[in-house]
Structure 1
Amino acid sequence: MTNLLLISGRAHFLLWALLILPCLTMPALGQTIQGKVTDAGNGDALPGVAIKVKGTSYGTITDVAGAYQLELDEYPKAKLIFTFLGMKTQEVVVGTQSRVDVQLVSDSQELDEVVVMGYSAESKRMLTTSTQVVKSDKLEDLAVGSLDAALSGQAAGVQVTQNSGTPGSALSVRVRGVGSVNAGNQPLYVIDGIPVTSENGSQVSFSGQTISALSDLNPSDIESITMLKDGAGAAIYGARAANGVVLITTKRGKNGKDVINFNAYYGIQQAWKQLDLLNKEQWFEYKNDQLGFEKYSPEYIANYEHDTDWQSEIFQLAPQANYDLSAQGGNERTSYFLSGSYFRQDGIVKGSAYERMSLRLNLDHMLSEKLKVGSSLQFTYSDTDRIEGDQSLNAPLPNALSLPAIYPVRNEDGSFNEDGPYANPVAIAENAVNKAYSYRGLGNVYLDYEIISNLNFQLKGGFDYYQLREHSYDPVTTRQGATYNGLGFNANSQSLNATVNATLRYNKQWADVHRLDVLLGWSAEQYQRRTNFLRGQNFSRPEFEYITSASEIVAADSYGLDRGINSYFSKVNYGYADRYLFTASVRRDGSSKFGNDNRYGLFPAASFAWRAIEESFLQGRKNLSNLKLRVGYGLTGNDAIGDFRYQALFSSGSDYYGQPGIRPSQLPNESLQWETVIQTNVGLDMGWWNDRLSGSFDYYIKTTEDMLLSRPLPLSSGYSSVMSNVGSMQNKGWELQLSYDVLAQSKSVYWNTSLNLASNKNEVLKLYNGQPIDNIGRGSNRIQEGSPISVFYGFEALGVDASTGDMVFADLNQDGEITTEDRTVIGNPHPELFGGWNNQLRWKGFDVQLFFQFSYGNDIYNGTRVYLESMKGADNQMTTILDRWQQPGDITDIPRATANDPNNNNRTSSRFVEDGSFLRLKNLTVGYSLPQPVLEKLHLRKCRFYVSGQNLWTLTNYSGLDPEVNYAGDDDVRLGTDFFTYPNPRVFVAGVNLTL
């Protein structure tokens, strides 16, 4: 019962009173020592702390205000021992002091830490699954604008890739590798118990620069993030848990004095790197070599007027700002948390920006001793200035890298110059309008009723409303706009996901030996989406940018979708003597995405943990503080494919002589069913020296069966493919987490260092008839049996022939010719090892956070070099071509320049595959908190000033703008390719944290 009583401060106080008071002996009256004991983490008073004079039975306990008093005349050289369950024991020499105030530090073992799991909360020490928790104190020092960015490098086995530096753009979050080709690989996000939309709702393509629905969540509102990584833990979410589950809990009010927090920071962003491109002189000399004769003489070059640095014209110093104001508090019956925030980030590429405003209100109220109700409500508005990216001929950054320096930005009359082979990037950035406005409402209400002792019923209903309105306009002052005499798009999409959960939970403990926790539940979700789209051209004037001013409507579309999920689930936890722990769960999901015969899927799981530290044969080992073995097995599902793929579908728009018509567009497949992921996990949790050093190790095998793929069909059928369950894939890997309090025994300095490492091996086991999926994207990715998903596939480049200046490619089939049959795997976009290293230091009022993120062993296909080292065509070139082959006998790895390239020197080959490994100083923060006497004069609880930097330093051999990149955004098939991709910025900010 001891652990259960810790939930209540008063109960804790009473418990220690019963244990300590009978042992007290009353010394003679004399000199008095007094003080107060508080929590070092939050400053709260700690009632019920046991205080003993070392070597005696004499002592006392703190009262409800954390205060204590002792008479110490009989103990002139007393040492006081402060003990509180869940906190590290502290020993203090009294000496001549008359007052001793103590701050107790949370025990890193955190025996009774409550962890949010699926539909319930559980004690951390009772967990049997591979679960990672990130608390708010790990996020508070990170000046990041989005949830997924805050996860970067924080958890072993969770790979977060910031595919580009586009403000407000989506990141890739992968839990234990890529498990599917067509059914999605993002984890399921659950906020305060309600699954939320994380998809890209955009209808206007921006070449991988997708909008993230998760950007709408303010990171400052987050209390904790729990990641369910293995099948045994995630199976309670069944059909959508194949890629892991991220449970987000927002902050709530607490019983006590009202607390007001104000956090603000302002900073500047910059491009941390630019490519070395040819200047005017180098460009003309290269063109003479390419043409084979001197078209441009030295005199002509010397007198040429323009030498534009297009990168400097398009990159900018960009401001970033964030302001958060929150209040929380409550009494014994009602508690609240209220927050408002404003975030603004201009992009380092002109024309891009992101702005967000959000409000949140969380309420909890006890209607009676048995009935509790509450709600969570969030409203967010965001405004994104977008620019076309990567593959577009009308994109600012690609055009800035591709335009030769010989073209000016503006003509003599001040208008933009459009003489170059590509559109003027500055004109696009300043004149093109690409806006995206999102409106987000997210919330839930709940009722929790204690039917009888230890039996609770909870009913929760929630909604996630997301509206995205897009408006684009290219006036005639841009090249694309001039082509159409003005070109405009308007799109609107609305989605609503409504959820109802009902759970019945029973928990009981007998004689401090048996623990039982049983959960039964039902859940239903209804998803609705509506869209419309318009494209118009030939506008009356450049100033009129809305579709109503277009004389031609060339495209119009609308779309509607309704789908649902119905689920039943149960879970049982049993613990014997806190030593042997068992967990079993099962979920049955039904989805409208599948036919009647395969609509429901069953997802069972089981796990076991042995807390060996509780065994008698380990009790005498003082250095060992934790040892727990975990084994888990579970099935999860994946249904993230298009809706109604099992049905025969027809499409409209096949009109004939003005008469409306329809046509068949999809073959039915009634046997279509879920992808099933089978995962086995073995883990070990360890701790030494009262968990001063702690760690965990996990090994897993994760196999995807019945993989959903588009199976090719003979063209004579009238269809190109049909969706089928025809493949399988496997991920194997290990994860290691270590945490060490380096200077935990020091009273003046605190230093904790933590490291997480992960290695994952992906392999495609089976495809339809063994047929590979080939020629995917700019990197010519390939999916084939026996290899990781989306390896790079092309020709093996052997170097430059010193006699001809052409690239030599390996003739693998030795037929004397270089054909497509000579292609092979030339690179792997998946890292061999990735993780993060975090350091937290505190000295007096100063604090430092030093966080590194790294990736090792992954390859990048540098598609930018395919054009900027092609030495043919009209693109500008990188200065690496100055080392090109120019005459017989030259030894170099850069081929010759030629307008006619019969050898196809820049074909997809290993020439453009580079090592993408990097070590990045992701965050460095230095803060200073005002001392207590100053705070009291200012009537503040806390005042902290800090400076912070992100992406300050990067160690990499990659030659592109950024090694943390993927031009296709969140696409898991077109992986690891850089194609003129928007780089991540270097950021410098200064901020303040105030608590009233």
Structure 2
Amino acid sequence: MKLSLQSLSVVIPKILFLTLCFLSYSGFSQTAQNLNITGKVTDKQGVTIPGVNIVIKGTLNGTVTDVDGNYAIDVPSDSTVLEFSFLGFKNKSETVGTRRVINVTLESDIKSLSEFVVVGYGVEKRTLLTGAVAEIDQKQLKDLPVPSIDGVMQGQVAGVQVTQNSGTPGGAMSVRIRGISSIGGSSQPLYVIDGIPVTTGDFSQLSFSGQGVNALSDLNPNDIESITVLKDAAAASIYGARASNGVVVITTKRGAAEKTKINFSSYYGMQQAWNTVDMLDAREWMQYRNDLTGTQVFSPEQMNNIKVDTDWQDEIFRTAPIANYELSASGGTEKTRFFMSGNLFDQEGILLGTDYRRVNGRLNLDHTINDKLTIGTSIGLTYSKTDRVESDQSLHGVLPNGISTPAIYPVYNPDGTYNQDGPYSNAVSIGNEYISESYSYRAVGNVYGDYKILPNLKFSTKWGIDFLNYREHSYESTILVQGAKYNGLGFETYSNILNLVSNNFLTYTKKIDKHNIEVLGGYSFEQYQTASSSIRGQDFADQSLEYISSASTIVSASASASFSGIRSFFGRANYNFDNKYLLSVSGRLDGSSRFGENNRNGFFPAVSAGWRINEEDFMDVAVISELKLRASYGLTGNDDIPAFLFAELYGNTSYGGLPAIYPSNIPNPDLKWESTAQFNIGFDLGLFEDRVVLSADYYDKQTKDLLLSRPLPPSSGFSSITQNVGEVENKGIELAITTQNYVGDFTWSTRLNLSGNRNKVLKLYNGEPIDDLGRGSSRIEEGEPIGIFYSYNSLGVDPSTGDIVFEDTNFDGVITAADRTKVGNPHPDFIGGITNTFGYKGFDLSIFFQFSYGNDVFNGNRLFLESLQGGDNQVADIERRWRQPGDITDIPRATTDPIAAASNKRVSSRFIEDGSYMRLKNLTFGYTFQNDWKNIENLRIYFSGQNLLTFTEYSGLDPEVNYRGDDNAVIGTDFFTYPQARTFILGLNLSF
């Protein structure tokens, strides 16, 4: 019998439930013991602790405390030793002796809490980790005025490159863990929130290139307790087919058995452009035009009596407010714990026509029914609204039009209407009148149950849902040049995304003398579906009627839907001897509907080992508190391709006035995963009782079976077919150091991370490069990194002619396409971040620098702003242009000769710049008042600045750009990209 994905989703949970019932029955069938011991477990404040593990030393027999902290256990003799343990408290042993009632007080162990790290399907003690894992905790998350989860990771984790493609409010970021492992697929990591993989990506149907909106922006970063980044295969392979790009495990805040605590936090601030491009003013532009044409286009009288000198950048950039308000409550009893929060984030963009507003609500509940069963739920709801304007990859946007419009043109006519006399549309009119609104409605929730079958055996089940409704509304009235072409132009789009997830697994732990074993095994499935529709209309009867119902002409309409699923069996076994020798083995078997029937299932195993040398008798060195060697090897996959790409697909058309269909895709039943094999070796070192902690790693990632479009001969009737035809490697090193420099009334700590990655394409179809991609002429070629800049090498300006001279690489005496060569590399040599945190009594100061070194940027703005032809405004640098024979300069002549002008403007190394930068990403200074007020636990005020200083040689608006957003093939290219803002905020934290 052949089981479908749907039938498996029903059968497997039933099997797990029957297994649970059987094990539960066997767990109750225990032989009675001689002595019955009872008691209660509390903390130092006398609060009872439910769920404490109590084990008879040297055996597997034990029990746990109930919701009131009570326990009862049968022991064989008076000499029996009972061991009490609970997360966050120090272990304690008690010999029975003559006592029959043993009450125990456990001492809090704050350090032990920080020793545990959330990983895939559980937590592990930090000292016993054998994989490459990094964690971002609350200390690093606080006071960062960033609206999205990916933003808080920037510069915080070695090996994780976070690029803010543009400064658009709510805009998407590119997150790459250990380099780019795919060409045609995504290189974004898998995000898992509270154990459930969530939907990410840009679902906009209206193209905004680098200003794409990521669904991840819907989630409130203030709800996060911790972020764990799983970087190597050993840590990530438990997620199998989607783990090639790494995994980001996010844990949200939860309640505890304590009195209810109310937290209110808020900040308000202002944003401004930290940089502008130095452009020609009205007089300089007039002189340039006269020089260009060789005539008196503008007379001396006009140049001496300038009536209009518009600073267009001053008109389109603005000082914009940003605000955040959050109220949360947490607490509970031994039986029920809760966390709930509400959040309003409101950001106006520094560029006209842009803003972002988000409202979040969250409720996390945990309820202990008895000493065996705990249930709970996490529910997050979000509404967000984004306003965007065209920018990069467009000549009809606010930013390109504003910068390119000469200063001689006014913003408004004398009658108050917009002046449209410039070479492009009036930028201010676009910012004020263009309507492009997107609305996101998001619900992410899960329910779970943990059942302790035996003291050492637990069954966990979790069911989650992620639903996203995304709507876009766009309208250009006849006031705008673009809208006037169509007598009004409007769009409406809708997208619905639903992801249903279920995880079910058993966890077994066993300790025999010095042998410690943990085994996990489970089953999961996901069902993913999308539905979208769009409609375009024009010819609006009235400019104030902006919805499609008012369009006289419906130009186009479309609708589509897709369904896919994945079912998986996974397991992990951890073993350690005496907490000294460590071994971990994991694996996942995935079956995905996205791939052909011949390769629908994939197996992704991994193995890792560790040696804690500091635990050896011969390593008796007082200054060394931890020294661990780690090594791992494993396989992970990437299934980020459209559904049904393997199948024979059909499109619709008309033939002879009748509806018809035609084949649109060649079937490929052999289509399979992109697979990454990764080797990792590293060590962890702690000195002076962990006042200095260092972690270093070397990795080698080999990705094969890349999914690429292979060209087909025209005789086939198709242009290409998607096949597994490529290979890529990433090799690199990572270093993370944390130091406690001073401890006492004055404290000073430092966190530094540094990483370098080397990317190389190993194999393409028939060795043929993928060429001429994007505005910077990016290229994918064997033996080179993905997306190198490949064009003409400029040798500078010929002093005798004023024209650019290009290198004749093949020495044939003429400059042709055959002379193109590698002229730049967008990949940095290394990236990193450094944070210094100071404290003195109630004062605190945090200084965070983030940096990138060695990467090139193609400044596509200069193709227009330094073209020295046409009617665009030009950068002020052209004032040093070549004017007469003998001039030595790097700027060519201004000319109307179309051949010379085209040659000087051609894409070349002339527009390649060093994109290295160091940025003071965040500076926060705060003061926490002493607890002198009744019922107020904490009151803190702080000042914070974001992007305060940027040190770079790049001449554009922002060195951290990519006009193509999350495109793996075209990176490091700037084309009028929305820059990031400099932000100043004043904040308040209040707890009572």
User: Scaled by the length of structure 2, what TM-score is found?
Assistant: 0.90
Give the counterpart of 1:849 among 846, 856, 859. 846
Offset at 1:420? 1.1
CA deviation string 1:780-826 (max 9, x = no partner): 10000000000000011001000000000000000000000000000
Conservation of the 8 A alpha-carbon contact between 2:829 and 2:853: yes
Conservation of the 8 A alpha-carbon contact between 2:89 and 2:109: no
CA deviation string 1:387-437 (max 9, x = no partner): 111122220011001111111111111010111110111001101110000
Q: Separation in 2 of the partners of 1:504 and 1:187? A: 26
Conservation of the 8 A alpha-carbon contact between 1:223 and 1:251: yes
1:639 counterpart residue number: 639
Give the counterpart of 1:412 among 394, 414, 431. 414
Conservation of the 8 A alpha-carbon contact between 2:680 and 2:699: yes
Indicate the SS of the match to 2:910.
Answer: helix
2:950 counterpart residue number: 954
Offset at 1:716? 2.5
1:682 counterpart residue number: 681
Counterpart amino acid of 1:395?
G
Conservation of the 8 A alpha-carbon contact between 1:345 and 1:355: yes
Conservation of the 8 A alpha-carbon contact between 1:497 and 1:527: yes
Q: Separation in 1 of the partners of 2:51 and 2:429? A: 70
Give the counterpart of 2:498 among 493, 496, 509. 496
1:422 counterpart residue number: 424
Indicate the SS of the match to 1:499.
Answer: strand
Q: Separation in 1 of the partners of 2:845 and 2:105? A: 31
Structure 1 residues 155 and 8: CA distance shift in structure 2, 3 A? farther
2:604 counterpart residue number: 603
Q: How does 1:531-610 map to 2 (within 5 A)?
A: 531-610=532-611
Q: Separation in 1 of the partners of 2:109 and 2:936? A: 28
Offset at 1:304? 4.0
Q: Separation in 1 of the partners of 2:396 and 2:545? A: 21
Q: Separation in 2 of the partners of 1:510 and 1:828? A: 55
The percentage of counterpart residues that share the same residue type is 53
Q: How does 1:273-672 map to 2 (within 5 A)?
A: 273-511=275-513, 513-618=514-619, 620-652=620-652, 654-672=653-671
Q: Separation in 2 of the partners of 1:181 and 1:189? A: 20
Indicate the SS of the match to 1:613.
Answer: helix
2:264 counterpart residue number: 262
1:926 counterpart residue number: 925
Structure 1 residues 658 and 326: CA distance shift in structure 2, 3 A? same
Indicate the SS of the match to 2:899.
Answer: coil
Structure 1 residues 48 and 674: CA distance shift in structure 2, 3 A? closer
Gaps of 5+ in 1: 19-44, 51-62, 67-83, 88-105
1:41 counterpart residue number: none
Indicate the SS of the match to 1:655.
Answer: strand
1:802 paired with 2:803, answer no
1:754 paired with 2:751, answer yes
Q: State the number of aligned residues.
A: 908
Conservation of the 8 A alpha-carbon contact between 1:111 and 1:124: no
Q: Separation in 2 of the partners of 1:295 and 1:939? A: 75
Gaps of 5+ in 2: 1-39, 57-86, 93-102
Q: Separation in 1 of the partners of 2:945 and 2:91? A: 40
Q: Separation in 1 of the partners of 2:159 and 2:789? A: 23
Conservation of the 8 A alpha-carbon contact between 2:42 and 2:105: no
Q: Separation in 1 of the partners of 2:171 and 2:469? A: 16
Indicate the SS of the match to 1:672.
Answer: coil
Q: Separation in 2 of the partners of 1:243 and 1:351? A: 35
CA deviation string 1:553-579 (max 9, x = no partner): 001000111110010111000010000
Q: Provide runs of 4+ in structure 1 moved above 3 Å.
A: 5-16, 45-50, 63-66, 84-87
2:26 counterpart residue number: none
Indicate the SS of the match to 2:560.
Answer: strand
Q: Separation in 1 of the partners of 2:670 and 2:598? A: 7
Q: Separation in 2 of the partners of 1:351 and 1:500? A: 42
Q: Separation in 1 of the partners of 2:775 and 2:125? A: 48
Conservation of the 8 A alpha-carbon contact between 1:46 and 1:64: no
Q: Separation in 2 of the partners of 1:449 and 1:690? A: 38
1:96 counterpart residue number: none
Counterpart amino acid of 2:328?
S
1:906 counterpart residue number: 905
Counterpart amino acid of 1:285?
Q
Q: Which moved more, 1:598-607 or 1:202-211?
A: 202-211
Conservation of the 8 A alpha-carbon contact between 1:146 and 1:218: yes
Q: Separation in 1 of the partners of 2:871 and 2:561? A: 45
1:94 counterpart residue number: none
Structure 1 residues 150 and 46: CA distance shift in structure 2, 3 A? closer
Conservation of the 8 A alpha-carbon contact between 1:86 and 1:112: no
Q: Separation in 2 of the partners of 1:907 and 1:835? A: 34
Counterpart amino acid of 1:408?
P
Counterpart amino acid of 2:628?
K
Conservation of the 8 A alpha-carbon contact between 1:46 and 1:65: no
CA deviation string 1:259-287 (max 9, x = no partner): 11000000000000110011111111101
Conservation of the 8 A alpha-carbon contact between 2:320 and 2:350: yes
Indicate the SS of the match to 1:876.
Answer: coil
Structure 1 residues 15 and 792: CA distance shift in structure 2, 3 A? closer
Structure 1 residues 221 and 111: CA distance shift in structure 2, 3 A? closer
2:6 counterpart residue number: none
Structure 1 residues 86 and 255: CA distance shift in structure 2, 3 A? closer
Q: Separation in 1 of the partners of 2:556 and 2:805? A: 48
Conservation of the 8 A alpha-carbon contact between 2:486 and 2:538: yes
Indicate the SS of the match to 1:232.
Answer: helix
Offset at 1:715? 2.1
Give the counterpart of 1:831 among 828, 832, 847. 828
Q: Separation in 1 of the partners of 2:596 and 2:835? A: 48
2:963 counterpart residue number: 967
Indicate the SS of the match to 1:902.
Answer: helix
1:881 counterpart residue number: 878
CA deviation string 1:172-225 (max 9, x = no partner): 000000000011100000000110011111001123210111111111100010
Q: Separation in 2 of the partners of 1:733 and 1:236? A: 23
1:780 counterpart residue number: 777
Conservation of the 8 A alpha-carbon contact between 2:49 and 2:334: no
Conservation of the 8 A alpha-carbon contact between 1:47 and 1:65: no
Conservation of the 8 A alpha-carbon contact between 2:597 and 2:670: no
Counterpart amino acid of 2:372?
K
Counterpart amino acid of 1:991?
G
Conservation of the 8 A alpha-carbon contact between 1:388 and 1:394: yes
Conservation of the 8 A alpha-carbon contact between 2:866 and 2:875: yes
1:982 paired with 2:978, answer yes
Counterpart amino acid of 1:964?
E
Offset at 1:120? 1.2
Structure 1 residues 813 and 708: CA distance shift in structure 2, 3 A? same
Offset at 1:13? 15
Structure 1 residues 828 and 245: CA distance shift in structure 2, 3 A? same
Conservation of the 8 A alpha-carbon contact between 1:12 and 1:48: no
1:711 counterpart residue number: 710
Conservation of the 8 A alpha-carbon contact between 1:527 and 1:563: yes
Structure 1 residues 48 and 177: CA distance shift in structure 2, 3 A? closer
Counterpart amino acid of 1:977?
T
Conservation of the 8 A alpha-carbon contact between 1:111 and 1:123: no
Q: Separation in 2 of the partners of 1:130 and 1:11? A: 34
Counterpart amino acid of 2:969?
V
CA deviation string 1:702-734 (max 9, x = no partner): 010111111111223221111011110000000
Q: Separation in 1 of the partners of 2:51 and 2:897? A: 86
Structure 1 residues 365 and 769: CA distance shift in structure 2, 3 A? same
Offset at 1:906? 1.3
Q: Separation in 2 of the partners of 1:649 and 1:767? A: 26
